């Protein structure tokens, strides 16, 4: 007669889940934090380390005064027909790309405009003179800077086109511009800082003898 042997069922021990390394939790968070902090850090770096440059604006429309808290400005170096006269423009047209072309230049092309400091000083300060256009950041003389822009098809954008200011200052600036237009002596130049990568931030602008800080 065969006896049956009773076996005790094996108790399964709970398995430990593999621990996620500490760095895998914190690395994405640190990366996201770095991106958030980098946005205001770049203009601060440019303002701290950049060289002061004066840009000539195009005439302000007398029938379009400052409205709200912002104003849009354009510059002589924003105008395509001005840059087409400079050495190096043809270099921009010699690109093999499928991007749409305007003036034989692909829309979205990054470029550098070399500006040269004036030899005299005055109030308001005289604008720096554009002397060359290039696709790559150029070698510069001591009296030159290269400001980086993007070809939009209609103009060149430098990230310096929109300014924000307090409501009270807006009224004063409108009065200054109106007075300059009545005197037919409108001189409006913008002071910017340009760092060694060509990035620029606005500092102030002049309406004749008056300076307004941003």
| Chain segment 155-204, per-residue pLDDT in tens | 999 999 887 766 777 778 777 777 776 766 667 899 999 999 999 999 98
Q: Which residues of 50-69 are buried (b: 16+ CB within 10 A; e: fewer)?
A: bbebbbbbeebeeeeebeee
Peptide bond between residue 108 and the one before it cis (omega within 30 degrees of 0): no
Which pLDDT score, from 0 to 100, does residue 99 have?
A: 86
The answer to whether position 102 is within a domain reads: yes
Q: Looking at the 3D structure of the chain, how many domains does it have?
A: 1
The answer to whether position 21 is within a domain reads: no
The answer to whether position 63 is within a domain reads: yes
Which pLDDT score, from 0 to 100, does residue 63 have?
A: 46
CA–CA distance, 193 with 53 (Å, rounded to integer): 6
Other Cβ atoms within 10 Å of 49 Cβ, number? 12
Q: Where are the beta strands (DSSP E) in 36-128?
A: 51-56, 70-72, 101-102, 105-106, 110-116
Which pLDDT score, from 0 to 100, does residue 139 have?
A: 94
Give the tokens for residue 37.
Answer: 């902090």
Which pLDDT score, from 0 to 100, does residue 210 have?
A: 86
Other Cβ atoms within 10 Å of 196 Cβ, number? 13
Q: Which residues of the chain have pLDDT under 50?
A: 35-38, 62-67
Q: Which domain holds residue 202?
A: 50-213
């Amino acid at each position: 007669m065969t006896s049956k042997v009773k076996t005790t069922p094996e108790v399964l021990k709970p398995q430990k889940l593999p621990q996620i390394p500490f760095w895998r939790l914190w690395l994405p968070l640190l990366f996201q934090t770095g991106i958030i902090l980098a946005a205001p850090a770049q203009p601060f770096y440019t303002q701290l380390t950049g060289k002061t440059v004066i840009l000539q604006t195009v005439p302000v429309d007398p029938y379009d005064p400052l409205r709200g808290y912002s104003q849009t400005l354009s510059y002589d170096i924003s105008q395509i027909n001005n840059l087409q006269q400079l050495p190096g423009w043809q270099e921009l047209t010699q690109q093999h790309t499928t991007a749409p072309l305007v003036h034989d230049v692909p829309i979205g092309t990054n470029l550098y405009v070399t500006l040269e400091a004036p030899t005299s000083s005055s109030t308001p300060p005289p604008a720096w003179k554009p002397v060359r256009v290039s696709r790559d950041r150029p070698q510069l003389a001591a009296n030159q800077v290269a400001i980086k822009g993007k070809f939009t098809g209609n103009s060149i954008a430098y990230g310096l086109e929109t300014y924000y200011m307090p409501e009270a200052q807006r009224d004063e600036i409108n009065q200054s511009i109106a007075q300059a237009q009545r005197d037919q002596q409108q001189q409006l130049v913008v002071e910017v800082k340009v760092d060694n990568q060509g990035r620029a931030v606005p500092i102030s602008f002049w309406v004749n003898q008056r300076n307004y800080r941003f």
